[in-house]
Chains A and B, each alone.
Chain A
Amino acid sequence: MGNVLVWVVWFLAAGGCLASGVAVVSVTNPFFSALALIGNLASLAVLYLLLAAEFVAAAQVLVYAGAVMVMFLFVVAYLGGRADAPWAGGPPLLRSAAVVAAVALLVEIVVVLGLAWGDNLTDPAEVSDSFGSPAAIGEAFLTDHLLAFEITSIVLLVAAVGGVVLGTTREKEDEAA
Chain B
Amino acid sequence: MDGPDVGWYIVVAAMLFGIGALGVMMRRSPLIVLLSLELMLNAANLTLIAFARQQGNLDGQIFALAVMAVAAAEVAIGLGLIVAMGRRRMLLDVDQASALRG
Contact = CB atoms under 8 A, between A and B. Distances in A.
Interface of A: 2-3, 6-7, 9-10, 14, 17-18, 21-22, 24-25, 30, 33-34, 37, 40-41, 44, 47-48, 50-53, 55-56, 59-60, 63-64, 67-68, 71-72, 75-76, 78-79, 82-90, 95, 98-99, 101-103, 105-106, 109-110, 113, 117-118, 120-122, 124-127, 131-132, 136-137, 140-141, 144-145, 148, 152, 155-156, 158-160, 162-167, 169, 173-174, 177
Given A75-B83, A98-B26, A137 B65 contact: yes
Interface of B: 1-12, 14-23, 25-32, 34-36, 38-39, 42, 45-46, 49-50, 52-59, 61-62, 64-66, 68-77, 79-84, 86-89, 92-95
B18 A86 contact: no
B11 to A, nearest CB: 7
A101 B3 contact: no
B31 A76 contact: yes
A85 B3 contact: no
Contacts of A14: 8, 12
B31 A33 contact: yes
A44 B46 contact: yes
B58 A140 contact: yes
Contacts of A86: 28, 93
B47 to A, nearest CB: 8
A124 B22 CA distance: 32
B80 A127 contact: no
Contacts of B19: 18, 21-22, 24-25, 102
Given A47-B12, A52-B53, A124-B54, A99 B70 contact: no
